[in-house]
């Protein structure tokens, strides 16, 4: 188990999806008490079950002791009531990549969290400075962007808004270290570092498919074997979620006003069809059978 940072004992996580439950998982393993919320109890229950399964996987791979796994699960409390964040020292929002939704969450949070609490967003692309403006503590507001899957990936991007103070940044850097992860500091520009580079590459791969340069299979095979990527860009897009990829491209296009960030019409079409990747069973691959099958 890790050593929690002094002054950060209880951590709140808003959103119990793939990112939210992963964040809750790593904080609990590191010794923090965690309150994880979502709008519906069934989502909270599903997240707790996912965390239990992921902890067991770590035990099976000798990455975590069985007793430590039980202790970590015992530190996580699920809720549908935001008032349960009333004793948190840090609250991380991990909702969908929709700016108005995130702002609504932060407006509600400032009504219930203590004055001492740091507020943070796991946004992968949206301005930290803008999100901070709806709170009563822009100096104690930051971006803390975890990579997916959270328990496995070592990197965390730390993003300061224009008003974030040094003490908040230092605390959050110590928090990341306490999780056994590596922090990379990014400036508050659209999509920060990882997604500023990664998602346009995915978008270009979709253009390559759209223009008939290659098939789904040939594009992914070429990038895996030709550049040594563990996943092809279209397979990776399905893993991230095509709706999230499109949202990030729109943030880049709107925020930087450069045509090189124009979302590929084919990406838009897949999202309109509800083919969002693994989470819906279809994206650039169809996942409904025994093995993924390219959809184009």
Q: Kindly report, residue by residue over 84-142, the tens digit of the pLDDT.
A: 999 999 999 999 989 999 999 999 999 999 999 999 999 998 999 999 999 999 999 99
Domains and their CATH numbers in the chain: 10-186 (3.40.50.720), 200-294 (1.10.1040.10)
Strand order in the sheet with 118-121: 76-79, 33-37, 10-14, 90-93, 118-121, 141-146, 155-160, 182-186
Question: Taking the C-alpha atoms of 153, 7, 94 and 97 in order, what is their torsion angle to the nearest 10 degrees?
Answer: -100
Question: How much of the chain exceeds pLDDT 90, in percent?
Answer: 97
Q: What is the pLDDT of residue 189?
A: 95
Is residue 278 pLDDT above 90, yes or no?
yes
Mean pLDDT of the chain: 96
Is residue 3 pLDDT above 90, yes or no?
no
β partners of residue 92:
13, 120
Q: What is the pLDDT of residue 117?
A: 97
β partners of residue 76:
34
Each residue of 248-270: pLDDT tens digit?
A: 999 999 999 999 999 999 999 99
Active site residues: 124, 145, 157, 195
């Amino acid at each position: 188990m890790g050593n929690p940072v002094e002054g950060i004992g209880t951590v709140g996580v808003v959103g119990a999806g793939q990112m939210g439950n992963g964040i809750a998982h790593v904080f609990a393993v590191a010794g923090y008490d965690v309150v994880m919320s979502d709008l519906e109890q069934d989502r909270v229950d599903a997240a707790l079950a996912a965390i239990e399964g992921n902890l067991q996987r770590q035990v099976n791979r000798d990455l975590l002791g069985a007793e430590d796994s039980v202790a970590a699960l015992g530190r996580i409390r699920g809720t549908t009531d935001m008032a349960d964040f009333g004793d948190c020292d840090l609250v991380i929002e991990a909702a969908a990549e929709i700016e108005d939704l995130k702002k609504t969450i932060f407006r509600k949070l400032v009504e219930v969290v203590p004055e001492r609490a740091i507020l943070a967003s796991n946004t992968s692309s949206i301005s930290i400075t803008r999100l901070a403006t709806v709170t009563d503590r822009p100096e104690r507001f930051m971006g803390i962007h975890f990579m997916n899957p959270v328990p496995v990936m070592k990197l965390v991007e730390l993003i300061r808004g224009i008003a974030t103070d040094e003490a908040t940044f230092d605390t959050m850097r110590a928090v990341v270290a306490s999780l056994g992860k590596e922090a990379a500091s990014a400036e508050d520009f659209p999509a920060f570092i990882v997604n500023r580079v990664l998602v346009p590459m995915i978008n270009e791969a979709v253009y390559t498919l759209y223009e008939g340069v290659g098939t789904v299979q040939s594009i992914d095979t070429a990038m895996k074997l030709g550049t040594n990527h563990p996943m092809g860009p279209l397979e990776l897009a399905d893993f991230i979620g095509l709706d999230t990829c499109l949202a990030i491209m729109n943030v880049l296009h709107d925020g930087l006003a450069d045509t090189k960030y124009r979302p590929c019409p084919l990406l838009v079409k897949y999202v309109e069809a509800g083919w969002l990747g693994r989470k819906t069973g279809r994206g650039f691959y169809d996942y409904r059978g025994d093995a993924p099958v390219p959809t184009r």
